Structure 1
Amino acid sequence: MSFLPKNFPLKWFRQCSSRGTRRSYSTSPGLAPYLEDARISDEILDLSVGPQEVLSSVGWTGGGIESQMDDLARVFKAMFDGTILNQSTIDLFSEQAIGTSYALGIQLSNRVGYRTFEHGGGVPGFRSHARYFPDLDVALLYPQT
């Protein structure tokens, strides 16, 4: 498969540096534009691409799925209000990891006095963030692009 890097599967690398304009499209798109050096690995630099180069059905965790924001907010709410996931799975998702506010794929936060379950993501050029307030039974989704 030509879209896979030559050394697939990728290895995990910590603290490697890269310089140049590609940094804003790299592994930390929200932070990289503010850094002098983006912290990415030379081994994965070849995966850093500009938005115009992205194949939406290949190599991204979203699997090429596109959705309207209101639909995604409904699904995110349904994950945590018992519609899609049972309570034991919700409890597992909200079990905080040691030394972080991150749980199993979900950021646990407190916003304006209410606890929240949050998750963000995207592909180069497009980002969004979902937030569910369980005490209010309200989900919000907003673009970050």
Structure 2
Amino acid sequence: MIADYQFGKGTGAELFPDGSTFQLSRTKRVRQVLYSGRRIATARAKDGFFTLSIEGASIVHSLLPKKKFRVVISDDAAPFVEAGKTAFAKHVIEIDQELRAGEEVLVTDKADRLLATGQLLLSPVEILSLDSGAAVDVRVGTGSKKEE
């Protein structure tokens, strides 16, 4: 239900198919969701919303319409973001206007190729009006070696 609320109706069933397992915290709250031994998402302690692994982001990316939850960056910045580096406002060329600061987002290139997932730091209006500063705190890129 949380995934449906966060990403849209129907995403929860696809993101967490039958056979998904849940790791609980010491306080018995859902901490991580795994499928076939790989982490799909982690529940944030502060609000219960999910942060996505690249596997989880790929699932959400394939389910949502082309513009939803997307931050599109320029081709110049794509290799850096794909490597797990921060996406800066000056490189954002398009953004879902319904997003809010703090939300989990998908970072893509102009061709809608998934590059990374992370947390939006500013509102879409702020990002498009700024020429400097961080826009997305990239958690993990598709080409990065680390995974949470």
State TM-score, norm by structure 2: 0.26
Instruction: State the TM-score, normalizing by the size of structure 1.
Output: 0.27
Greater RCO, CA 8 A, separation 6+: 2
Structure number having the greater strand percentage: 2
Max Rg structure: 1
